[in-house]
Amino acid sequence: VQLQASGGGLVQAGGSLRLSCVASGATRGLYSMAWFRQAPGKEREFVANSWVSGRTYYADYVKGRFTISRDNAKNTVYLQMNSLKPEDTAVYYCAADRALVQATRQSYDFWGQGTQVTVSS
């Protein structure tokens, strides 16, 4: 499975961006898809995940501002990011797995290459 993330860029604080991640290859049974991020000098952290059933889970620091969604027919997961803050600046990674990965765990088998999001103050 290959994951290709896109949609990052430079945006002012308070602005919005929409990230996309397309899965290709052996995409059957990707029950969990998620977004993580890593800021310079920091560890990678969980942002949001989505099960194929539609269940979603968010980190507290993005809850109410970010929305994860997926189009299973297109093997694509999205991350709509609103009310962006400078502290949201990071490389955002998408991930996928054939298991139902719980909450904030990072035990995904497949990872994308990352897309840079920079929020200026």
Distance CA 99, CA 97 (A): 5
Tokens of 36: 């993580």
Is 61 in a helix, a strand, or coil?
coil
Distance (Å, whole) CA 113 – CA 11: 21
Over residues 26-84, the pLDDT tens digits come to 888 899 999 999 999 999 999 999 999 999 999 999 999 999 999 989 999 999 999 99
Q: Which of 112, 121, 120, 118 is nearest to 36 (CA)?
A: 112
What pLDDT does 27 receive? Answer: 86
pLDDT at residue 34 in the model: 97
Neighbours of 1 (CB within 10 A): 18
User: So what's the pLDDT on residue 48?
Assistant: 97
Q: Residue 7: pLDDT band by 50, 70, 90 thresholds? A: very high
Query: What pLDDT is attached to residue 103?
Result: 79
Residue 116 sits at φ, ψ, to 5 deg, of -80, 130
| Structure tokens, 40 | 């310079």
How many other C-beta atoms lie within 10 A of the C-beta of residue 96?
26
